[in-house]
Amino acid sequence: MLARLENVTKRYRTAEGVRDLTMDVPAGEIVGVLGLNGSGKSTLLKLIAGLLFPTGGSITVLDGSPRAARSRTVYLGETDTLWPWMTSDDAERFMVGLYPDFDARRYRELLDGLQVPSRKTRAMSKGERGRLRLAMALARNAKLYLLDEPLAGIDLISRETILTSLVREWHTDETILLSTHEVAEAEGLFERVIYLRDGRLALDARAEDLRERGKSVVATFKEVLS
């Protein structure tokens, strides 16, 4: 098991992010984390990444605390997090210097594949910045990838490029937790789907089981969350 959450609650100042959440994240799956706005998707991924600490319950990632496992997990947040002066070369220097598991050759290939320009991020479009951040994330040889809305606000062509890269770069011993509102586009990726509603686990199902019952991930999304 890569990660385990037991009765996890995260309370903010005025609201609750997730409530009494219990789930396991096994190795070797692409898991969709789906839900409406404010359902707790980002909170869940941040908790597993170690960016947030739970108010109650416990989280174990790679047999330790999430913060302790940060050198073996990848978190790609939903906001633009790169410094405006950074170029793809600067980003490489940053990653090579800080992450021993960063594969510079793979990064270069990803930059080519994702068609990331070499200019500063302040001069890039949102889609180009998103693709650069994805290249930085996927060039690491980590066990657990937490991708929070990597498709948000990105044009259709770039979204397709990103999804294709995700499938191509995924290794069977790695787990990807992908949160997205583009459920229909990403549906084919998912082996397992976690539906969140108001910070609680509404449904945890294998995509194949859903399909056997004649339901798509999208149809179940509507059924469970509407």
Partner 1 sequence: MRGFRTLLWLEHRRSWIWAVSLLGSLAFWAWGIKQVRVMDVGERLGIRAGLLAMAAAIGVVVLCLMIGRIRAETRHGQYQVLLLTPPRGYAHVGARYLYAATVAFVYAVTIGFLYWWIMALAGIHLDARTLLELTLAAPFYASSVTVLPLLAWTILLMVFISAYRISGPGWVPGTVMILGTPFAMRWLINGIVRISYSLPGWRLFANAPAALIERFGQPDTEEAFQMSQIIYKGVPVEPLLIMLALTGVLLAIAGRIWQEVEA
Distance separating alpha carbons of residues 194 and 173, to the nearest angstrom = 20
Stretch that binds partner 1, among 44-52, 116-124, 150-158, 174-182 (CB under 8 A): 44-52
- Is there binding between residue 141 and partner 1 (CB under 8 A)? no
- Which of 37, 85, 171, 226 binds partner 1 (CB under 8 A)? It is 85
Contact 18, 199 (CB under 8 A): yes
Range 92-121, binding partner 1 (CB under 8 A): 93-94, 96-100
Is residue 58 near partner 1 by the rule CB under 8 A? no
Of 9, 55, 60, 216, the residue at the interface with partner 1 (CB under 8 A) is 55
Residue from 13, 37, 171, 214 touching partner 1 (CB under 8 A): that is 13
Contacts for 98-104 with beta carbons within 8 Å, 24 or more apart?
99/71, 99/140, 100/71, 101/71, 101/72, 101/140, 101/141, 101/142, 102/139, 102/140, 102/141, 103/139, 103/140, 103/141, 104/139
Closest contact distance (angstroms) between CB of 50 and partner 1 is 7
Contact call for residues 142 and 131 (beta carbons, < 8 A) = no
Which residues of the shown chain bind partner 1 in the complex (CB under 8 A)? 11-13, 49-53, 55, 67, 70-71, 75, 77, 79-83, 85, 90, 93-94, 96-100
